[in-house]
Chains A and B, each alone.
Chain A
């Protein structure tokens, strides 16, 4: 298992997480993924990267600083995307059930980011 894979595995241990990915922010391509069967990784990566880029442009236009974290919520699940400076042009993307403990996912994601940095 690659370095990324081992770290994603750590995020995936949180109850309710359906998978996680490292995604290139600029083109939305998957760098590494650890997803449950049935989660369309490529599509999720492209869509989340696109939403993240738009959110980043928006908050920069409003002079709120650079977007570091984006969470998209659906009735039945959540998408997280984290892009701290340590990851350069990479995004950590997590797909989770709606009942997931968001705080725990964020904590694990922060640990992963720290390890990657």
Chain B
């Protein structure tokens, strides 16, 4: 139901007075419904700076990124939402559709099964899961075509949460399923990645894609760089700048053993598997996360940008590394 003009005015006034007001969420939803994606995105990003653990805000930001055709960022937001609330059905099903659209049947199956556990009546999820089972039984690769020029990702994959302006019915599954892998939006990939073959992304070698994604992370507002380290402490890809030069190798050499120390610490204290380390200095914030092959991803940002922003950008680097490891056969994202 659309909010009344009075309600809208109240939300607007509340957010104008305090960008962290909880009213940012319904107001952003309204803007999205009205097709004002950019305005909605700005509202949610600002709201998340004050409420970094707001699951619904992460979910909505994912939808907004998807509306804008940025599947990578959309993936990150839903991934964060699930990290905060593993039972969040909306984010789970969106991730499932996205993984399926990317041709990652294993991940799609995992998310679809969990989504179905959350809502047994979700027929769209059920239908797609059956399709995935059938594709796996047939042993054929399956990938939905990527969005064509001018088409949003939301319309290429089924998404009942797409706003009215993008609510064109998704093409029939048979029509969008193709064993031929086509490059995703080249605009999101570095030129080198968009040019070459890729086992995992349909454009660029796995290394090129990883390098491009880590560089993109390092180029985000306030970021100092991102590197992926292998279990032996060598830099796999990326760079991290401080004092005018790449400090990746130094960081790799000293940080490499931190992974096993952190793992030992959390295990000894019965805190489960280790998920990450955050280090703050007066000048920088450094985020470390483990990779499935025993390595690590290190991302650094300047101290003057909000912590929540650094953590979210670091999540993108982590996901890029996970995809690389999966493409190399060393784990699953």
Q: Which residues of A contact B (CB under 8 A)?
A: 39-40, 43-44, 47-48, 50-51, 54-55, 57-59, 61-79, 95, 98
Contacting residues of chain B (261-300) with chain A, CB-CB under 8 angstroms: 261-262, 264-266, 268-284, 286, 300
A39's nearest neighbour on chain B, judged by CB, is: B269
Q: Which residues of B contact A (CB under 8 A)?
A: 224, 240, 242-243, 247, 250-251, 253-255, 257-258, 261-262, 264-266, 268-284, 286, 300
Chain B residues whose C-beta falls within 8 Å of the C-beta of A54 in the assembled complex: 254-255, 257-258, 261
What is the distance, in angstroms, from A25's C-beta to the closest C-beta of chain B? Answer: 14
A77's nearest neighbour on chain B, judged by CB, is: B271
Q: Are B278 and A73 in contact (CB under 8 A)?
A: yes
Q: Are B272 and A43 in contact (CB under 8 A)?
A: no
Q: Are A66 and B282 in contact (CB under 8 A)?
A: yes
Chain B residues whose C-beta falls within 8 Å of the C-beta of A65 in the assembled complex: 281-284
- Assuming the A-B contacts A47-B264, A59-B286, A62-B240, are A71 and B278 also in contact, with contact meaning beta carbons closer than 8 angstroms in the complex? yes
Q: Are A44 and B255 in contact (CB under 8 A)?
A: no
Chain B residues whose C-beta falls within 8 Å of the C-beta of A95 in the assembled complex: 269
Q: Are B268 and A55 in contact (CB under 8 A)?
A: no
Chain B residues whose C-beta falls within 8 Å of the C-beta of A57 in the assembled complex: 254
Give 12 CB contacts A-B under 8 Å: A47-B264, A47-B269, A51-B265, A62-B286, A64-B224, A64-B286, A65-B281, A65-B284, A68-B281, A69-B279, A73-B266, A74-B271
Report how far A74 CA is from B283 CA in the complex, Å.
26
- Assuming the A-B contacts A58-B251, A62-B242, A79-B269, are A68 and B277 also in contact, with contact meaning beta carbons closer than 8 angstroms in the complex? no
What is the distance, in angstroms, from B246's C-beta to the closest C-beta of chain A? Answer: 10
What is the distance, in angstroms, from B228's C-beta to the closest C-beta of chain A? Answer: 16
Chief secondary structure at chain B's binding surface: mixed
Known contacts A58-B254, A62-B247, A73-B276; 16 further A-B pairs (Cβ under 8 A):
A44-B268, A59-B281, A61-B250, A61-B251, A62-B240, A62-B251, A64-B281, A70-B278, A70-B279, A70-B280, A71-B277, A72-B276, A72-B277, A75-B266, A75-B272, A77-B271
B261's nearest neighbour on chain A, judged by CB, is: A51
Top 7 nearest A-B pairs (CB, nearest first) are A75-B272, A74-B271, A74-B266, A77-B271, A65-B281, A76-B272, A47-B265
- Assuming the A-B contacts A51-B265, A72-B277, are A77 and B272 also in contact, with contact meaning beta carbons closer than 8 angstroms in the complex? yes
Q: Are A61 and B265 in contact (CB under 8 A)?
A: no
Residue among B242, B275, B281 with the highest chain A CB neighbour number at 10 A: B281
Chain B residues whose C-beta falls within 8 Å of the C-beta of A75 in the assembled complex: 266, 271-273, 275
Report how far A51 CA is from B269 CA in the complex, Å.
14
What is the distance, in angstroms, from B160's C-beta to the closest C-beta of chain A? Answer: 30
Chain B residues whose C-beta falls within 8 Å of the C-beta of A59 in the assembled complex: 279, 281, 284, 286
Chain B residues whose C-beta falls within 8 Å of the C-beta of A66 in the assembled complex: 281-282
Chain A residues whose C-beta falls within 8 Å of the C-beta of B281 in the assembled complex: 59, 64-68
Of the residues A48, A69, A76, contact of B270 by C-beta under 8 Å: A76
Report how far A62 CA is from B224 CA in the complex, Å.
11
Q: Are B258 and A74 in contact (CB under 8 A)?
A: no
What is the distance, in angstroms, from A74's C-beta to the closest C-beta of chain B? Answer: 3
Chain A residues whose C-beta falls within 8 Å of the C-beta of B265 in the assembled complex: 44, 47-48, 51, 72, 79
Report how far A67 CA is from B278 CA in the complex, Å.
10
- Assuming the A-B contacts A57-B254, A63-B247, A73-B274, are A79 and B266 also in contact, with contact meaning beta carbons closer than 8 angstroms in the complex? yes
